[in-house]
Amino acid sequence: MKFPEKIVLATGNQGKVREFASLFADYGVDVVAQKELGVSDVPETGTTFVENAIIKARHAAQVTGLPAIADDSGLVVDALGGAPGIYSARYAGADATDDTNIDKLLAALDGETQRKAHFFCTLVFMRHADDPVPLVSQGKWQGEILTARSGNDGFGYDPVFHVPTHGCTAAEMEKAEKNRISHRGNALAILLDNMRATFA
Rounded CA separation 164/26 (Å):
30
CA–CA gap between residue 76 and residue 37 (Å, rounded): 32
Residues that are catalytic? 72
Alpha helical stretches, state H, 46-97: 49-64
**What is the rounded distance in angstroms from the CA atom of residue 178 to the CA atom of residue 199?**
27
Q: Return the number of other C-beta atoms located less than 10 Å from residue 152's C-beta.
A: 9
How many helices (H) and strands (E) the chain has is answered by 5, 7
Look at residue 103 and give its three-state secondary structure: helix
197: number of Cβ within 10 Å:
9
Q: How far lies 45's CA from each of 3, 49, 56, 77, 105, in Å?
A: 30, 10, 10, 22, 23
Q: Residues near 36 by Cβ (< 8 Å), separated by ≥ 6?
A: none
